[in-house]
Amino acid sequence: MKRLTVPRIRQRKGGEPLVMLTAYTVRMAQLLDPHCDMLLVGDSLAQVIYGLPHTVGVTMEMMALHGAAVVRGSYHAAVIVDMPFGSYEGSPQQAFDNAARLLKETGAAAVKVEGGKVLAPTIEFLTQRGIPVMGHVGLTPQAVNILGGYGVRGKSDAEARSIVEDAVAVAQAGAFSIVIEGVLESIAIEITEKVACPTIGIGASAQCDGQVLVTDDMLGMFERVPKFVKRYQDMAGVVSGAVQDYADEVRARSFPTKDQIYAG
Query: What residues make contact with Na ion under the rule CB under 5 A?
Result: 42-43, 82
Residue 214 interacting partner from Na ion, ligand KIV, none (CB closer than 5 to 8 Å by kind): ligand KIV
Q: Can you tell me which of 24, 36, 42, 123 binds ligand KIV, judged by CB under 6 A?
A: 42
Q: Which is nearer to Na ion, 141 or 154 (CB)?
A: 141
Task: Tell me: does residue 179 bind ligand KIV (CB under 6 A).
Answer: yes
* Binding mask of the shown chain, residues 224 to 243, with x at each position contacting ligand KIV by CB under 6 A: --------------------
Q: 82 - beta bridge partners? A: 112
Q: Is 155 annotated as a binding residue?
A: no
Give Cα separations from 109 to 43, 48, 50, 256 (angstroms): 16, 23, 24, 45
Q: Which is nearer to ligand KIV, 70 or 214 (CB)?
A: 214
Q: Is 112 annotated as a binding residue?
A: yes
> Can you tell me the distance from the alpha carbon of 194 to that of 90, in angstroms, rounded to the nearest whole number?
29
Cβ 115 vs Cβ 136: under 8 Å = yes
- Element spanning 19, H or E: strand 18-22
**CB count, 10 Å around CB of 49?**
14
Please choose, out of 36-44, 63-71, 227-235, 242-250, the segment that lies near ligand KIV by the rule CB under 6 A.
36-44
Q: Is 44 annotated as a binding residue?
A: yes
Q: Provide the terminal-to-terminal Cα distance of the chain, rounded to the nearest Å.
A: 47
Q: Is 157 annotated as a binding residue?
A: no
Would you call 22 helix, strand, or coil by DSSP? strand
Q: Which is nearer to Na ion, 202 or 221 (CB)?
A: 202
Reference 96, options 108, 87, 105; nearest CA is 87
Q: Can you tell me which of 9, 37, 38, 44 binds ligand KIV, judged by CB under 6 A?
A: 44
> Can you tell me the distance from the alpha carbon of 253 to that of 230, in angstroms, rounded to the nearest whole number?
40
Which positions are annotated as active-site residues?
181
Which residues lie near ligand KIV (CB under 6 A)?
Answer: 22, 40, 42-44, 82, 179, 181, 202, 212, 214
Annotated binding site for 3-methyl-2-oxobutanoate: 43-44, 82, 112
